[in-house]
Amino acid sequence: MRAEEAVQHGAAGAARVFRLPDPRRATRADWTQLLRFCAVGLSGYVVNLAVFSTLVTVGDAHYATAAAVAFCIAWLNNFVLNRSWTFKRGRILTVWAQAARYLLISLLALGLNLAVLHLLVQAGTPEVPAQALAIIAVTPVSFLLTRRWALR
């Protein structure tokens, strides 16, 4: 592949990753995959809180350290479940490439979540409902990037 063709191929791939989906063309399998993604996210949420709570209450860890460890364990939980259950179709990338991409998407989602959360709290929304809304707002972006780029 010549350099010019590689650039065109890369641009086409990026356009596909960031293209907005048409819900009218979504299949039952697409919706099932989204529901599985949300179920995995919920399990990661529970894992995160369980690890955080255990480290803070039983382990007497500092909350920042506990939050970092809980994030890492929940991320690993989500990666394994999403790779093996949600997005179990053919593997184009190695597990390490998928993990790196999934981590980048997770960090991007965290940044987007924090931005939406900040805007909602500044607008007067109470913090817990604001976080719930921020999670809902960021989930489609995270799902599409995971599906189209990380775990393909």
- Give 101's Cβ-side CA count (13 Å radius): 21
Instruction: Report DSSP state, residue 55.
Output: H
Are the C-beta atoms of residues 134 and 117 closer than 8 Å to each other?
yes
Q: In whole numbers, what is the pLDDT of the chain averaged over residues?
A: 86
pTM recorded for the entire structure: 0.76
Distance CA 53, CA 60 (A): 10
For helices 95-122 and 127-145, the axis angle rounded to 10 degrees is 150
Per-residue pLDDT band for 17 (boundaries 50, 70, 90) equals low
Residue 110 tokens, joined? 């965290």
Per-residue pLDDT band for 4 (boundaries 50, 70, 90) equals low
The label of the residue with tokens 């949300």 reads: 38
Give every CB contact of residue 120 below 8 A, 6+ residues apart in sequence. Answer: 130, 133, 134
Q: What are the tens digits of pLDDT across the range 86-138?
A: 998 667 889 999 999 999 999 999 999 899 999 999 999 999 888 889 989 99
Are the C-beta atoms of residues 40 and 76 closer than 8 Å to each other?
no
**Mean pLDDT value of segment 133-152:** 90
